[in-house]
Every structure is written in structure tokens, then in C-alpha cells.
Structure 1
Amino acid sequence: MKKENLLFALILLAFFGCQSKPSNELSLIIKFDGADPEKEYSIRLTSNYMVESSTKFKFGEGKTEHKVMVPLDAPKMFTLSGDFYKTFYGEPGQELVVQVDKEGDEFSYSYEGSGAHAMQALEEFASLEEEFEEQAAELDYGVYSMPWEEFSAGIDRVREQKEKVLLEADGVSQNFEQVMKADIWVDYVNQISSFQSYYNYRIKKEEDPEFESEILDSRYEKAFAFGTEALGSMSFSSMITGYVTKDASDLATEEVPWYSIPENWVTLYERTKEDSSVPTAFKEVMLGNYVSQLLMSLGVDGAWEIKEEFMNDYPESGETDIIKSLYASWEPLKQGKPAPDFTYSSIDNELVSLSDFKGKVVYIDVWATWCGPCIAEFPSMKKLKERLKDADDVVWLYVSIDDADVKEKWEKDVEKYEIQEGVNLFGGEGWETSITDLYKINGIPRYLLIDKDGMIHNAQAQRPSSGDLIYNEIQKLRGVSLEETLSMK
């Protein structure tokens, strides 16, 4: 080899040998002077309702700073929970330094590093939303109690202000800009969808002729126009739910809300599948996402039929592998599988386990003191218990996933909402309470039905408000025939 060629080869080797491989991690540094050294913090990345990764840590005695390498294969959102709960945006190879400050019960955040600009933009977004919400702080349903004209003007203003913030933001990546342009519109559509949901409830009491469903349809068309950019939106899954269920109220009965009837979820899938207003490429992802979400509504057994239909309709879909993995992760929660055991402290400060009730039917209500929909179900639960007041082979088990610092409030709420007749357990670790992982709980209220052999009957059981549906299901597990059940009504 000629001397000059050898020299050139050595230069190339030195150059490329010093090049580091592209990082698949985000360097996250948390600084918090008020950190509890024994408090466990958790970083979670989720996708299509699957936990991609979960990292737990403690600051430790005398430490106010902690560094975590967060695995990221693409720009993503992730959450950090502990003393506070916060959502972050990050990209592979970035560094994000977060300074947490606490004054009273309020937390504030400031940022440094290459990921700081995106987080600063998100903080401005949050401030704009809070300013709008403060205008309706005294109304029963917040901004959703506003007349349509006032609400519409408000969300239009917030959307335009967000677009201005994004346009003027310095130092943010092109990835962030593309995702957020779509996200602003998707979130805007979600707001209108939420208004419609509350409107459908309020219309029973008052008229607001200014709002028509066609308004929402036109906004969805705008969101769809973003194409694949909308798919990367942080609010995409919520928009899917809103779109697929926007006309679901016509499936309800006077006695039972539409979502308590499993067949209605199938009907909504078929409607969306035939909906010509949804772009073809978009529809595939929309239906795939909906199939993933069905696990939260129907459980693995109830959603299985629609999952199979989607995989037959779209065998080459990029959603298929995600759905397969997601459903496989729920396999342990299928009917007839052993119910994962858990142990928590009761309201009488005794340790109580699910396995203590083997030989009885156990209806589990997973709730929290801050959860409005959970509390709204308590009157229906009271009626259900009254119908089964002589059933000494049924256990009503309430599991709170509140944080440890609200135990006193929990004790008062048990009495306030008249649920002390059941067995009340306190998890005390918020969303890190073990039952949330054991039973794939990503939202509450959540109900579980366990048979007398300690096996799962339904890991996504009907709500108390479903009336006869849950009553008949419990009676069946007790060994009471349908004829006997009907004669008891």
C-alpha cells in the first residue's frame, strides 16, 4: 500500500472510529431541592396503551439531583410521577434538565439543555389553556357549561395563540414542529368533541340551539387533512375515541348507557369501517387504534372478535404487530385465568388480600377520591348491593389508588359516599399501586369480577350503572339460574 493511501486510511479510521453511534436515549436530569429521599419516582413510556418501558428511582438521602437515561427510539412523550405528575417531550440524543420548585401545594418547572425549547413551548400551551379554563372556574362543568358561541370563540383564540407560540419558538426541532402543528388541531377537535358530550347531557335541562353536530364534523375534516402528521399527535388516541363514539348516544336505552352494552362497540367499529368521510390510509390506523382501545372498554375476551375482524381486514397493517403484542400482554387476564393476588391495608388498618375471599364472588371497584366518574357510580353501586343484600357469598371490594398523603380524606370519603358496608382497601401509591399493573388499569373507574374459585370472570366488568347487566352476571356466578334471577326482580 502506498504511503499516502495508508495515511488516508488511518485518517478515515480515526474519524469514523471517533464517531459515536446515534443515541437511542434521552438524558433526563431532575433537580428538586424538596425531594423526599424515600419517595419512589416512576418514568413511563406508553404506546397504544402498552407500557413500552418503566424506570423507577429514588433520590436517596441528602440528594437533590438524579439522572436517568430514558430509552427513546423516536420523538415521544413520557410521564414522570412521584411527588408530582408531569408529561415531558423528548427526542433521542437530547439532554433535558428539569428544575422542580414547590411552593405550598403548587409545583413549577424550568428547563435547560437541548430539549428545553420544546418543553418551554408546551408550558406556554398549558398556560393558555389554564387562562381559558379560569374563565369558567365557577361553572358546573367548567368551560363546557359555556354557551356554544362563547366556548367556540375561546377555543379558537387558544388555538390561534398556540400556533403563534409554535411559529415564534426558537430552537425546537422540525419533528416537534410537525407533530405540534397537527396536535394543536387534534386537541382543538377533542375540545369540541368534549363540548358535544356535555351538551348531550345538558340538553336534557336547557336548550342551546347554536350548537349543531355538523360543526364538529367540519373540524374533524380539518384534522384529517393533516394526514400522517396527525397520527403523531399526542392527542390522537383521544380524537379517535371522540370520532368513533360521537354518534353513540343513539345506541343508549333509558335504563342503560350505550357503553355498557358490548354489542354497541362492535356497531361503532362497523360504522367507522363504512364511513366514507375518513381517508382510506387514515382509517386503517384509526380502526387499529380503536381495536387497541377496546381492551380498556371490553377486556380481552369482549374485544377478541373485533380484533380478529381487523386483522382479517388489514393483514398487512403496521398496526397488526402492535395489536398482537398488546393482546398478548392481556392474555393473563382472560376469563378462567387465576386472578392476580394483591394485599393492602383496610380501613381498619388490617392487611387484606384478594385471596382471602376465595369461595365467594368478588366484585372489585378500583377508584380514587379525585375521580368524579368513580364517585358518580356509587349511587348505582348502592342500588346493586341492595338488590343482593341477602347474598352472603358476594364481596364488595373497593380499592383506592390514591396517594399516601390523602389517606385521611379517603377515610372520610368512605363514610361520605356510604361505601363502608363493603371491604375498603387503600393502595397509597397512586398510579404505581400494584393493582394497576396486575390488571392493566390505565383509567378509572375500573371493575373486576372474580369467581368463587379465585379465577377471573371479567377483568373489564360492567359498571354498577349497567343495572341488570352486572346484576345478572353476578347472579350467574353465584349459581342462580336466569329464571330465578328474573323472578327476583
Structure 2
Amino acid sequence: MNKSMIGLLTAILAVSSLMSCKNSSQEQPVKKVVIYGTISNYEQDTLFMDDYTSNYKYLEANTHKIPLNKNNEFSYTFTLEEPRYFKISRTYLYLSPGDSLEMKLDTGSRADAIFKGQGADANNYLRSLPYPKGGSFFGELRDRDLKLKSKEEMVGTFKPILDEKLTQVQELTNVSNTFKELETARLYLEYANTLESSGYLYYSDYYQKKITEDEMNAKIADAETYLTPYIVETYKKIDYNNVDYLQFEVFQGSIFTLNNDEYITKNNLTPLNNELKDYIRASNLKYAFTRQGYTKEFLDYYNEEIVKIKEKKYIGSLTKELDKYKLLKPGSPAPQITFTNLKGEEIPLSTFHGKVVVIDLWATWCGPCMVEKPYYEALVEKYKDNDNIVLLAVSIDTHKVWTNYFTKEKEKGIQLHINRSDLAAYQIYSIPRFFVIDKDQNIVDVYAPLPSTGKLEEMFKEIL
């Protein structure tokens, strides 16, 4: 073969190789998601987007922190391997690799959100999702000006709403079949949750003292007996052993109902599979983390339950959680944080070195916090002249809400503010939370008892 022929073949092979690489590159799916837009009625400089699929399905906390400019505008790009559900404030999102989505969000209502671009149809649909903790379809009564007086009316009232919503899902365009299948299952779960929420029929009469608590409970039990066949019929319409449903808030309640062996046998339902049973054990352990922290009692419970879990993904998730909570065990150095006072001055936790520090973590929107407030303020008053201790009231409200609160309310003790995002090391999942930190800035307990029990005072008195 002469040199010119060899040269020609080499060139052809090179071009062929380049074309092959190009085609291979073109076939790779785009795994980036771009979201941009604005958010109204929001007063922080960072937007928090919770990965619901990660948080619920995989039990791994994952929150995207999205910077906002002074006009509450944002633009954010991230990698996504699979379609997932997310949540920003009250707004649910369904994002898929390749989406490029313009958003106009409002923290006051997800129904007012507007989406445009690739992925818009699925997200515009999600604006109409009911609130599971509010009894799901019960919110439709108000929106549709419907009245409901008895358990017998529940099926006749809510079943047409379910059918209407099922049709709406099937008529969606520019969404995947997977999305339709998931949202269809969600609607059945919401409907079952609605029928399981018959107590809403009687709460008003109870609070208005028209019926006693015993009478209310008897009515609820009677309604449950009547509605159970309809609930069971609904569960039979879906494969509730599908772990993808774990992404739904409403399914978190359903799996505990379906994990009752007596309920399953009596109603001829399929038992939960082993993966979901493992999920329930893991979920219970994770909840215990958030309530108890790294204590001997918790560790005894953890060691007893972890050996029962076989799914490696849940074991891995719990191991990561345990490592985070180890940092909060009694005797560990308290993670350093910085507060702001009403004058706008920064106050580091280290300012109080040499004193026992007690912290009440609260917010104006937190009902239980406001219940505990008088008890804590009584301790503030009692120990105000004791130089060995300082009691701080630390709000996680928005700064504007916090400062406005004290234009109407009198300051009692030391009032400070902190953004919730700055408390990440303390694993804050709910409030009220009370901290006790010793004079050397070591943790005594960051899951300290409520002041109303009297045990909080007992705890800090031991180290004064």
C-alpha cells in the first residue's frame, strides 16, 4: 500500500472517530436543570429548595441554597440525575434533567405561582395540590362553597372531586407518563386520607362545647367504621408497595396505617413489602434523632432497631445522621453561632463564655413556642440578677417579623435573632427547642426539657 493511500485511510478513520464521538456526545442526556425568576413576600437573602425525593424517599436531608439579589430574583443551575420532587416554601416542584424553568413564586400561596418554559406543565399542575395535614380534599369544601354535615355525605361529596382531578391528570400534555402515574396514585392517597380525616366533621362542635370529648371520639370511631370499606377500596386501586410513593407527604401517613397487620388481614389487603417495613423502622429512627438527639436512651433504641434494617441505603442514611448528631452529644463543644440584637449588632455565642447559657429557640408563628413563653419568661425574671447564667430568647422568624413583634410587645430579657440556616449544626427540624450550654461553652443538652415541666430549671441549676 503506497503512502498516499495510507494517508487517505488515516484521514477517513480520524473523521469517522470524530463523528462517532460527536454522535456519542449528542446521545448523552442533558443532566442540568436551570430555574430562574422571582419570589414575593420573602425577606431572606437565600431561597431554600428542599429535595423532597431525597428527604422522604431516601431519608437523606438535601436542601439547595439559592442566592437572591436585592430584588428577590434568582438564577440557579444544578445537576439532576433523575426526575425529582422539590419544595420551595409552600410550592411543590417536579423537575427533570434538561428542564429550563422560569418561575414567579409567592410564599403566601402556591396557587399564585406561575411557570413558563421546559417543565412548566407539570409544575403548573402541582399548584393545585391539597394540603395532606389539612385533611386533603377538605380544603375543597371552602373553595367550592360546599357544606358537609355527616359521614354519610363524605363519599358523595369527595368522590366527584377525586374523579374530576383524575381526569385533569390524564388530560395533561407535555408531561411524562411517569408523572401521570405518580400523580394519579397521589390523588387516590389524598382521597383515602380525606376519608380517614372524618374528625374534621366534629372538631368544631367540640371546640364550641356542643359535644364532649368522649362524644366526639365516639362519633369519629363510628365514622371510621362506616368509611373503612371505601378507604380499603381506594387502597386496592394502587400498588401501595411502590417505593416511589414515598416522595409524597400523604403516603408517609398511609404506610403506618398499612403497616398494621390486623388492619391488613381484616380488610384482605396485601402486606407491606420488606423494603417499606425497613423504611418505617429507619424513618422512626430518624424522627427519634430529631426529638432526642445523641443520648443514651436514643442510642439504646438505635442499636436495637438498626440490626433489623436490611436495606443498605437506609443503613447508610442513618449512619450519616448518627455522625452529624455525635457533634451534639453532651460534653461536646457547642457549635459557634452569631446572633443579632434589636439594634442590629452581632452577638457571638462566645460573648457569654464563663456563664451558663440557656437558649429558647422560638418563632411568632409557633403555637407551642408561645405556650412555653410565659414559663421561660418567669425563669428570665427569676435569674436576671444571677451573674453566673444568661437566658436568651432567640427567634428564627424573618428579621422584619421579629422586629415588628417588639413594636407591639415588651422585651423581656435578652432578645436575639438568627436565621434558621445559620443553625445547621444544631439540626433544627422543629421548635420550640431549648439549649443548655455550660460555662466552658460545652453542650449540656441541646434537646433540653420544656420550661413548663420544671425540668429545664433543674438541669441548669445543677451546673450553676
Q: What TM-score, normalized by structure 2, do the two folds share?
A: 0.74
Task: Give the 3-state SS of the residue equivalent to 1:19 in structure 2.
Answer: helix
Unaligned runs of 5+ in 2: 1-5, 265-270
Match of 2:67 among 57, 64, 71: 57
Match of 1:285 among 279, 285, 289: 279
1:18 to 1:162, Cα distance in 2 relative to 1, 3 A: same
Task: Give the 3-state SS of the residue equivalent to 1:171 in structure 2.
Answer: coil
Contact 1:26–1:90 (Cα < 8 Å) also in 2 = yes
Match of 1:165 among 168, 190, 202: 168
The one-letter code sitting in structure 2 at the alignment partner of 1:443 is S
Task: Give the 3-state SS of the residue equivalent to 1:333 in structure 2.
Answer: coil
- Structure 1: how far apart are the matches of 2:346 and 2:385? 26
Task: Give the 3-state SS of the residue equivalent to 2:65 in structure 1.
Answer: strand
What displacement does 1:157 show?
A: 5.4
Contact 1:44–1:78 (Cα < 8 Å) also in 2 = yes
What displacement does 1:15 show?
A: 5.7
Task: Give the 3-state SS of the residue equivalent to 1:318 in structure 2.
Answer: helix
Task: Give the 3-state SS of the residue equivalent to 2:129 in structure 1.
Answer: helix
Aligned to 1:426: 417
The one-letter code sitting in structure 2 at the alignment partner of 1:292 is K
Aligned to 2:85: 77
Task: Give the 3-state SS of the residue equivalent to 1:344 in structure 2.
Answer: strand
Deviations 1:185-211 (A, max 9, x none): 444455566665997986755733431
Match of 1:442 among 429, 437, 441: 429
Tell which deviates more after alignment, 347-356 or 438-447: 347-356
Tell which deviates more after alignment, 384-393 or 67-76: 384-393
1:170 to 1:206, Cα distance in 2 relative to 1, 3 A: farther
Contact 2:328–2:334 (Cα < 8 Å) also in 1 = yes
Deviations 1:1-58 (A, max 9, x none): 998x9699559715633425223332212257x8999944343435336442523323
Aligned to 1:23: 30
1:367 to 1:231, Cα distance in 2 relative to 1, 3 A: farther
What displacement does 1:215 show?
A: 6.7
Tell which deviates more after alignment, 11-20 or 284-293: 11-20
Contact 1:369–1:413 (Cα < 8 Å) also in 2 = no
What displacement does 1:161 show?
A: 3.8
What displacement does 1:105 show?
A: 10
Task: Give the 3-state SS of the residue equivalent to 1:330 in structure 2.
Answer: helix
The one-letter code sitting in structure 2 at the alignment partner of 1:441 is I
Match of 2:125 among 107, 121, 124: 121
1:11 to 1:387, Cα distance in 2 relative to 1, 3 A: closer
What displacement does 1:400 show?
A: 1.0
Match of 1:226 among 239, 242, 245: 239
1:349 to 1:187, Cα distance in 2 relative to 1, 3 A: same
- Structure 1: how far apart are the matches of 2:335 and 2:401? 26
Task: Give the 3-state SS of the residue equivalent to 2:294 in structure 1.
Answer: helix
Contact 2:245–2:251 (Cα < 8 Å) also in 1 = no
Contact 1:36–1:59 (Cα < 8 Å) also in 2 = no
Unaligned runs of 5+ in 1: 138-142, 247-271, 482-489
Deviations 1:294-332 (A, max 9, x none): 222222335333332232112444311111122222222
The one-letter code sitting in structure 1 at the alignment partner of 2:181 is Q
- Structure 2: how far apart are the matches of 1:193 and 1:445? 29
Contact 2:357–2:390 (Cα < 8 Å) also in 1 = yes
Aligned to 2:332: 337
What is the root-mean-square deviation of aligned Cα atoms in Å? Answer: 4.6
1:118 to 1:217, Cα distance in 2 relative to 1, 3 A: same
Aligned to 2:462: 479
- Structure 2: how far apart are the matches of 1:43 and 1:333? 25
The one-letter code sitting in structure 2 at the alignment partner of 1:169 is L
The one-letter code sitting in structure 2 at the alignment partner of 1:93 is G
Deviations 1:395-441 (A, max 9, x none): 332211111332343214653xxxx43321123x4x44x12x13121
1:105 to 1:78, Cα distance in 2 relative to 1, 3 A: closer
1:371 to 1:148, Cα distance in 2 relative to 1, 3 A: farther
1:136 to 1:356, Cα distance in 2 relative to 1, 3 A: farther
Match of 1:211 among 204, 212, 220: 220
Deviations 1:377-411 (A, max 9, x none): 32444566688789764433221111133234321
Q: Does residue 235 of structure 1 match 2:248?
A: yes
Tell which deviates more after alignment, 219-228 or 205-214: 219-228
Task: Give the 3-state SS of the residue equivalent to 1:475 in structure 2.
Answer: helix
- Structure 2: how far apart are the matches of 1:73 and 1:464? 46
- Structure 1: how far apart are the matches of 2:233 and 2:349? 48
Match of 1:460 among 438, 441, 447: 447
Match of 1:111 among 115, 123, 139: 115
What displacement does 1:90 show?
A: 0.9
Aligned to 1:41: 47
Percent same amino acid at aligned positions?
A: 23
Matching of residues 61-210 of structure 1 within 5 Å: 66-80=74-88, 86-100=91-105, 108-126=112-130, 132-133=138-139, 158-188=161-191, 205=213, 207-208=215-216, 209-210=218-219
Larger-gyration structure (1/2)? 2
Tell which deviates more after alignment, 378-387 or 45-54: 378-387
The one-letter code sitting in structure 2 at the alignment partner of 1:422 is G
1:101 to 1:43, Cα distance in 2 relative to 1, 3 A: closer
- Structure 1: how far apart are the matches of 2:284 and 2:101? 33
1:54 to 1:273, Cα distance in 2 relative to 1, 3 A: same
The one-letter code sitting in structure 2 at the alignment partner of 1:211 is I
- Structure 2: how far apart are the matches of 1:39 and 1:9? 51
Contact 2:115–2:124 (Cα < 8 Å) also in 1 = yes
Matching of residues 262-341 of structure 1 within 5 Å: 277=264, 279-281=272-274, 282-301=276-295, 302-341=297-336
What displacement does 1:98 show?
A: 1.6
Aligned to 2:20: 13
- Structure 1: how far apart are the matches of 2:149 and 2:386? 46
What displacement does 1:367 show?
A: 1.7
